[in-house]
Chain A
Amino acid sequence: MFPLRVSDLRWHAAGRAVLDGLSLELGGEGITILLGPNGAGKSVFLRTLCGLLEPDAGHIDWGGAARPEFGVAMVFQQPKMLRDSLLGNVELALRPLKVPAAERQARARAVLERVGLLHRARDSARSLSGGERQRLALARAWVTRPRLLLLDEPTASLDPSSVEAIERIVREIRTEGTRILMTTHNLGQATRLADDVVFIDAGRVCEHAPVQRFFARPASPAARLYIQGELPWRMAF
């Protein structure tokens, strides 16, 4: 699957280019954070990666092979949960993989334990708080043991301790060898988690750099402005 090469991706909506020649190369290790202003096309890009959107032009090369059927999991900004127990929601993700029913429950319980929700396994998923819901969504993605995990703002509107819990889980997933591509507007989080940063503006990649270099010396003017705009907030953190 890796190296993942995205070249010149284009996607139009309502007569406007949302992805406007986006190119990117991702190696097989670590956490990459996608940064960029609202409406830059980050979510759309993640959607094309997990196959929900067909780009109008451009090409994605999955390490020289065909697009893998499984192995890419996505956590949406607003995850939807079935009217079922936590356990049922996690097991759901294993069904398309044809995991035997007996094994499904064991695997689901194991990941629920690791996201700290096992004691609520039988509760209704719809009764969870926002932070718990994000953890459940992570568990649901994690249980499939993806090679590539796409996270769309997994900590938006969470309190600091929930943010920390999510970050701990993300790191844990990564240590198991899962490649993580994640968007966030929390620059502190980016510095804490990222190995490298991809900065997107107006549907194209402006900059792709290791995290320290990106924050110390952003190369593109757009990235510099973006970081500066966020700076006061970052100091208060």
Chain B
Amino acid sequence: MNGLSLAFSEAFSLLAGFDHRVAEIVLLSLQVSGLAVLFGTLIGLPLGACLGVGRFPGRQVLVVLLNGCMGLPSVVVGVVVYLILSRSGPLGEFGLLYSATAMVIAQTFLVVPLMAAIARQVVEDAWRDYEEELTAMRFRWFDSVRVLLHDCRHSLMVAVLAGLGRAMSEVGAVMIVGGNIDRSTRVMTTAIALETSKGDLPLAIALGTVLLGVILLLNAVAYVLRQWATRRYA
């Protein structure tokens, strides 16, 4: 049997037929991962930038810790967030487990270290370039962080894309805290895991192809934006 070609033809018919269910799942994936990356951007990038600019005791330890956290298995993050959000956990009273909100929270934890680590590297390199100028102009370090975040915005797009890639493709965390509930918390990766475990490999690959397509599309948009921006600001 030629499983692969079967899978791809199924992927195309899935795309061409615009299956309503698949569209819903794709939309939820985008919303959950998009929000997580949004929070990752708001938290991770400034955090990384502060680490790139600031000079304080314990900074190196933090940097190593952050770089290590980039490889944190998503299942571990999922279990930790599960225990926090569980009814018997510290935030149990909010009843957030098995909701889209829980998935956003888990993925935020997942992408913040990654985005912060990339931002730290980018901003630290820029800081080496600008340190004397900014210090001579009497910028306080916090204001320098703001200036550098703005100045590195095009390179920081890489951090955002990396975060998005990680969030969209992880399955461990959303599976545990979302529960893969049909029509409620089922996203592309958990749907793929489910179809795989049902032995429906063609459908799994078809969904995987859709996921890849979505990620590629986002990257293409980002690439075009970045091209435009570099032309604008040399």
Instruction: Consider the complex of A and B and state whether they touch directly, i.e. have CB atoms less than 8 Å apart.
Output: yes
A interface residues with partner B (beta carbon < 8 Å): 47, 50-52, 69-70, 73-74, 76, 79-80, 82-84, 92-93, 95-96, 124, 126-127, 144
User: Which one of B135, B138, B232 contacts A124 once the chains associate, using CB atoms below 8 Å?
Assistant: B232
In the assembled complex, the Cα of A92 lies from the Cα of B234 at a distance in Å of 18
User: Which one of B136, B137, B151 contacts A83 once the chains associate, using CB atoms below 8 Å?
Assistant: B151
Confirm or deny: B143 has a beta carbon within 8 angstroms of a beta carbon on chain A: yes
A-B contact count (CB 8 A): 48
A-side contacts of B234, CB under 8 Å: 83, 124, 126-127
B-side contacts of A93, CB under 8 Å: 137
In the complex, 7 of the A-B residue pairs with CB atoms within 8 angstroms, ordered by the A residue number, are A47-B132, A51-B135, A70-B138, A82-B130, A83-B233, A124-B232, A127-B234
Say how far B92's CB is from chain A's closest CB, in angstroms: 46
A-side contacts of B135, CB under 8 Å: 51-52
Inter-subunit contact A73/B136 (CB<8 Å): yes
In the assembled complex, the Cα of A214 lies from the Cα of B151 at a distance in Å of 45
Which B residues from 131 to 152 make CB contacts under 8 A with A? 132-133, 135-140, 143, 147, 151
Say how far B149's CB is from chain A's closest CB, in angstroms: 12
Inter-subunit contact A84/B133 (CB<8 Å): no
Inter-subunit contact A80/B133 (CB<8 Å): yes
Inter-subunit contact B137/A82 (CB<8 Å): no
Inter-subunit contact A84/B137 (CB<8 Å): no
Say how far B53's CB is from chain A's closest CB, in angstroms: 15
In the assembled complex, the Cα of A80 lies from the Cα of B147 at a distance in Å of 13
Name the residue of chain A whose CB is nearest to the CB of B146: A95
In the assembled complex, the Cα of A50 lies from the Cα of B130 at a distance in Å of 15
Name the residue of chain B whose CB is nearest to the CB of A70: B138
Inter-subunit contact A96/B138 (CB<8 Å): yes
Inter-subunit contact B138/A69 (CB<8 Å): yes
B-side contacts of A80, CB under 8 Å: 129-130, 132-133
